[in-house]
Structure 1
Amino acid sequence: MAKANAGRSPRRWWALAALTLSVLIVGLDGTIINVALPTLADDLGATSAQLQWIGGGYLLALSVGMLPAGLLGDRYGHRRLLVAGIALFGLASAVGALAGTAGQVIAARAVLGLGAAMITPLSMAILPKVFGKDELPRAIGVWTAATAVGMPIGPLLGGWLLDRFPWGSVFLFNVPVTVLAAVACLRLLPADGPRVRDGRPFDYLGTVLGTLGIVALVYGTIQVPGHGWGGPSVLAPLAAGAVLMVLFVRRQRRAAAPLVDLGLFADGTFRWGAIIAVFVNFAVMGLLFVVPQYLQAVLGNGAFGGGLRLLPLIGGLMAAATLAEPLVPRLGARVVIPAGLLLLAAGALLGAATGPGDGYAPAAGWLSLAGLGFGLAIVPATSMVLGTLPQDGTGTGTSLLETIQQLGGALGVAALGSVLNAGYLARLSVTGLPDAAAGAARGSVTGADAVASQLHDKALAASAHGAFVHGMDLTLLVCAGAALVAAALAVAFLPRRAGAAQAERGAAAAEAPQPAVRAGELPA
């Protein structure tokens, strides 16, 4: 094997750099918007529900777009579809920078999500084409690190941009990066070979059912703040979404060429690893939705200052990524993953004890703990699940995995945003305010601050800050609950020898033919 590797082009590492750059911008854009939410509320008058759609709409489109992306890549070429996704991402970013209303921002973010839905699973599916079986684990590690690092760095970069440039800079930043990524992919990645057509039709019905089902579920959840859980505008889409997803699963079981391989769920490692990832993403995306608003609106930090104060979360995540590699072989994923989830829950519980008068120091402590727990849970869980994916049809397998994870994040933003808003409205006092001022104060904490500043009403500002902290505390309690449920599932259902099983699958794969790319096969 060493001899074989010696003949391989060193440009494969540049190819890996192109792939990681692609997924890095997706990770950054998934969270960079969080620190811009207060600015968007001020400049565009975005309501709390619209702020949820700005974040949730991206994740929603990302989740539904991944369903067909992997299968299309398997059929028509991974590199071709990857570059198209990068181009779409750059175009949507340019349009988003010119948006003049909250609705236009939501639309641009949704298109960004569709571009990201093509980038993430297809970039993962290309890795086995570039690397042999001995180097593939290292390449997957680098790729996974890029996706993980991009998410917490997004708020920091967003804060730096917003302190120096208008809010459109968080979109415009993507344009030159996507141009570079597209050129690098075209130049460095192996060209798509002739596709083998098996004559099976594309599952258009399954695509429609899956897309409408996910949209209905998330839409119903986002309606909760304005209509309550018992309102018909909430219950109707939730019920419709549940029915559509049942029909989608039935369709996938019967379709000649299904969008997703439901047979993967027969593997306990994949099944429970994916379920745990849903809970983790639910909790973490909810945390990343609420904390930047707390750091800016309540503690009074600027956009960059708010992003900078998320560094403890980044530090915890990076420390966990370093610790997970030696800990998993020694203790096993069944120990490390629940331990990480318990740390994540502990961090969220400490955050839920935040009071209106607390400063930043307590937040730095529980953010560090939450970041450490997040990393210790998600890094080994993702590696464990990736080890179960089949060698052929990698695009379909990665699409299923990424869809499950991103759906957890989308539902986290929607559901936990509802909890935040309900808690905020329950404690906010707008007695004596004119109707227009009261409506603005109810819309968001930044709206209440603006009204309080105009009216020189310190009592309103204090009430709004206390109400927001109350809503944040409730949100973090739910995050902690999700992490505890995931920890219990991990202890009860993760295979006792998941690490050994993965090693056995890797050894079996080593005996199978691998699609290697030699020096002469890389583009000149």
Structure 2
Amino acid sequence: MTAPEHALRMGTVPARGTLLAAVLASGMVFLDSTVVNVALPRLGADLDATVAGLQWTINGYLLMLAAFVLLGGALGDRFGRRRILLLGVVWFAVASVACGLAQDTGQLVAARFLQGAGGALLTPGSLSVLQASFRPDDRARAIGAWSGLAGVSTALGPFLGGWLVDVFSWRWIFLVNLPLAAAVVLAALRWVPESRDADASRAGPGRRFDVAGALLGALALGGLTYALIDAPARGVRSLPVLASALVGVLAAVAFVLLERRRGDAAMLPAGLFTSRLFTVLNLFTVAVYAALGGFTFFFAVYLQNVVGWSALRTGLATVPMTLLLLVGSARAGALSAKIGPRLPLTVGPVIAAVGLLLLHRIGPGASYWMDVLPGVLLFGLGLTLVVAPLTASVLAAVADRFAGVASGFNNAASRVGGLLAVAALPLLVGLSGAGYEQATELTDAYRGAMLWCAVGLLAGAVTAAVLIHRPDGGAPPSPQR
């Protein structure tokens, strides 16, 4: 990507303002990926939600992000990255207000779908704005600062969410986005330069927009997710469950056929999958992030409804895991660049699985320091060995011209993993209705879920050990996820 005529240089006021806008924009999306889990028990009790309602509160958001994030990036390239970023921020803020004012589960879930769509517009925009706005020799520093500062928002998410839930209400975990969105809009209008892809702007109508592919992808994910979530209440053989599963499968098949026919103009070019390594890495991503999604969904509810902790204490419980990721990811990326990704991607999931097995037996009266912290630290250490090497390996596995879409697809694969885990695990462990409010039923479900998550991690480790090798030429330096 060439530098714009008035490219920004680090240290100047416009550069700081642009970085502030990008960090706050992505921070809102990261924040809403972490704070909601902490609020689920209080939110569920207030809205009289079932397990399915809690699942859709998480999955409505993830589904829209996974399905439309690549389309959001293409819109920014075509119509202007700042313009689409601002649209996404305003959209996200309005949807956040709708979430905070929801009076029942249906309203909340609908608002979460809208919020995820806004996130799909602003997530790719926050990073592409930096890539397009800064001078080439300053881009790495700008993106590094964005990674670190955005990571802080992820670390603060559980703490902030727990504090807001305990002191005010679960509604404030959504309403807190309003001042953040206002700051992004002001900073973007004042300092962020507009940029777009000249080739995309000159392209004919629809050339860069695979809207049909995005809709089919969303329909595939939505059909399968609905079937998994609705099965405990209706039965696996019920007509609505079977019909939604069939719709999901048919949409997935149609998506694959459409993407193959569109070639390089597709949202997901078939050329990506000529790399066997790229395919394997994304299967690995789904397995590992499914374990992460399942863990965070069950852990927050279990600590509050069975162990008896407050929302704030629950939020603080996983902060060491996030701090490990912030401090250790760059070092793990450097190690992978030297020795190749196979060993970190094999050992990391095994360590994380051991952490889940330690957390499997905690119960009422558990000590944080003796019972919870060791498992959290091992889980976090395992993920630290995985995240940066995985991102670097995905980018190294494809041609440079596919780097953007490959990174975007891997990000979507991680969200699909969490989406499917939150949808499937309650079915697998027999949790439905208001069972999350019953200590005995939730305990059995939690312990079963931790075992399933550990199995997913071990499956990822076996995949890495057998099928993942260093790409030709070695792994590149690790970018932050």
TM-score norm. by structure 2 comes to 0.88
Q: Which is further off, 330-339 or 33-42?
A: 330-339
One-letter amino acid matched to 1:443:
A
Going from structure 1 to structure 2, the CA distance change for 1:271 and 1:122 (only over 3 Å counts) comes to farther
- Aligned residue number for residue 407 of structure 1: 416
Shift of 1:165: 0.9
Tell me how far apart the structure 2 counterparts of residues 231 and 490 of structure 1 sit (CA, whole Å): 38
Pairing of 1:118-517 with structure 2 (within 5 A): 118-146=121-149, 148-193=151-196, 196-199=201-204, 201=206, 202-255=209-262, 257-321=265-329, 323-355=331-363, 358-360=366-368, 361-387=370-396, 396-420=405-429, 422=430, 424=431, 443-446=434-437, 464-497=438-471, 500-502=474-476
Q: Give the match's secondary structure for 1:112.
A: helix
Shift of 1:192: 2.4
Tell me, yes or no, if the aligned pair for 2:287 and 2:460 is still in contact at 8 Å: yes
Q: Give the match's secondary structure for 1:56.
A: helix
Q: Give a deviation string over 1:248-282, Cα, whole Å, max 9, x none.
A: 11101112632222312223443333222222211
Q: Give a deviation string over 1:125-166, Cα, whole Å, max 9, x none.
A: 333313455544444444444555544532221101112112
Going from structure 1 to structure 2, the CA distance change for 1:163 and 1:145 (only over 3 Å counts) comes to same
Tell me how far apart the structure 2 counterparts of residues 337 and 229 of structure 1 sit (CA, whole Å): 35
Tell me, yes or no, if the aligned pair for 1:33 and 1:158 is still in contact at 8 Å: yes
RMSD between superposed Cα atoms in Å: 2.8
Tell me, yes or no, if the aligned pair for 1:64 and 1:210 is still in contact at 8 Å: yes
Tell me how far apart the structure 2 counterparts of residues 209 and 245 of structure 1 sit (CA, whole Å): 7
Tell me how far apart the structure 1 counterparts of residues 461 and 402 of structure 2 sit (CA, whole Å): 31
Tell me how far apart the structure 2 counterparts of residues 262 and 138 of structure 1 sit (CA, whole Å): 33
Tell me, yes or no, if the aligned pair for 1:89 and 1:115 is still in contact at 8 Å: yes
Tell me how far apart the structure 2 counterparts of residues 148 and 498 of structure 1 sit (CA, whole Å): 31
Tell me how far apart the structure 1 counterparts of residues 100 and 258 of structure 2 sit (CA, whole Å): 40
Gaps of 5+ in 1: 1-6, 426-441, 447-463, 507-524
Tell me how far apart the structure 2 counterparts of residues 48 and 387 of structure 1 sit (CA, whole Å): 40
Q: Which is further off, 236-245 or 155-164?
A: 236-245
Tell me which of 14, 25, 28 is aligned to 2:28.
Answer: 25
Tell me how far apart the structure 2 counterparts of residues 312 and 501 of structure 1 sit (CA, whole Å): 28
Tell me how far apart the structure 1 counterparts of residues 329 and 284 of structure 2 sit (CA, whole Å): 18
Q: Give the match's secondary structure for 1:82.
A: helix
Q: Which is further off, 80-89 or 395-404?
A: 395-404
Shift of 1:23: 1.2
Tell me how far apart the structure 1 counterparts of residues 440 and 340 of structure 2 sit (CA, whole Å): 43
Pairing of 1:43-82 with structure 2 (within 5 A): 43-82=46-85
Query: Does 1:9 pair with 2:14?
Result: no
One-letter amino acid matched to 1:211:
A
Shift of 1:57: 1.1
Going from structure 1 to structure 2, the CA distance change for 1:445 and 1:241 (only over 3 Å counts) comes to closer
Q: Give the match's secondary structure for 2:201.
A: coil
Going from structure 1 to structure 2, the CA distance change for 1:327 and 1:391 (only over 3 Å counts) comes to closer
Shift of 1:404: 1.9
Going from structure 1 to structure 2, the CA distance change for 1:406 and 1:103 (only over 3 Å counts) comes to same
Tell me how far apart the structure 2 counterparts of residues 273 and 132 of structure 1 sit (CA, whole Å): 32
Tell me how far apart the structure 2 counterparts of residues 244 and 12 of structure 1 sit (CA, whole Å): 44
Shift of 1:244: 1.0
Shift of 1:51: 0.7
Tell me how far apart the structure 2 counterparts of residues 251 and 337 of structure 1 sit (CA, whole Å): 32
One-letter amino acid matched to 2:305:
A
TM-score norm. by structure 1 comes to 0.81
Tell me, yes or no, if the aligned pair for 1:344 and 1:372 is still in contact at 8 Å: yes
Tell me, yes or no, if the aligned pair for 1:354 and 1:469 is still in contact at 8 Å: no
Tell me how far apart the structure 2 counterparts of residues 127 and 493 of structure 1 sit (CA, whole Å): 35
Shift of 1:117: 0.9
Tell me how far apart the structure 2 counterparts of residues 499 and 355 of structure 1 sit (CA, whole Å): 49
Tell me how far apart the structure 2 counterparts of residues 273 and 78 of structure 1 sit (CA, whole Å): 29
Tell me how far apart the structure 2 counterparts of residues 141 and 383 of structure 1 sit (CA, whole Å): 14
Tell me, yes or no, if the aligned pair for 2:351 and 2:382 is still in contact at 8 Å: yes
One-letter amino acid matched to 2:321:
L
Residue identity over aligned pairs, in percent, reads 35
Shift of 1:103: 1.3
Tell me how far apart the structure 2 counterparts of residues 393 and 100 of structure 1 sit (CA, whole Å): 44
Going from structure 1 to structure 2, the CA distance change for 1:502 and 1:496 (only over 3 Å counts) comes to same
Q: Give a deviation string over 1:14-66, Cα, whole Å, max 9, x none.
A: 42332222111111101211111111122111111101111111111211222
Tell me, yes or no, if the aligned pair for 1:253 and 1:262 is still in contact at 8 Å: yes
Shift of 1:323: 3.7
Shift of 1:312: 3.1
Tell me, yes or no, if the aligned pair for 1:26 and 1:150 is still in contact at 8 Å: no
- Aligned residue number for residue 511 of structure 1: none
Tell me, yes or no, if the aligned pair for 1:62 and 1:116 is still in contact at 8 Å: yes
Pairing of 1:77-96 with structure 2 (within 5 A): 77-96=80-99
Tell me, yes or no, if the aligned pair for 1:156 and 1:310 is still in contact at 8 Å: no
Q: Which is further off, 92-101 or 377-386?
A: 377-386
Tell me how far apart the structure 1 counterparts of residues 428 and 154 of structure 2 sit (CA, whole Å): 23
Going from structure 1 to structure 2, the CA distance change for 1:334 and 1:397 (only over 3 Å counts) comes to closer
Going from structure 1 to structure 2, the CA distance change for 1:184 and 1:499 (only over 3 Å counts) comes to farther
Tell me, yes or no, if the aligned pair for 2:100 and 2:172 is still in contact at 8 Å: yes
Shift of 1:199: 1.6
Tell me, yes or no, if the aligned pair for 2:8 and 2:133 is still in contact at 8 Å: no
Going from structure 1 to structure 2, the CA distance change for 1:232 and 1:152 (only over 3 Å counts) comes to farther
One-letter amino acid matched to 1:312:
P
Going from structure 1 to structure 2, the CA distance change for 1:345 and 1:308 (only over 3 Å counts) comes to same
Q: Give a deviation string over 1:467-499, Cα, whole Å, max 9, x none.
A: 212111110111111111111112222232467
Shift of 1:299: 1.6
Q: Give the match's secondary structure for 1:255.
A: helix
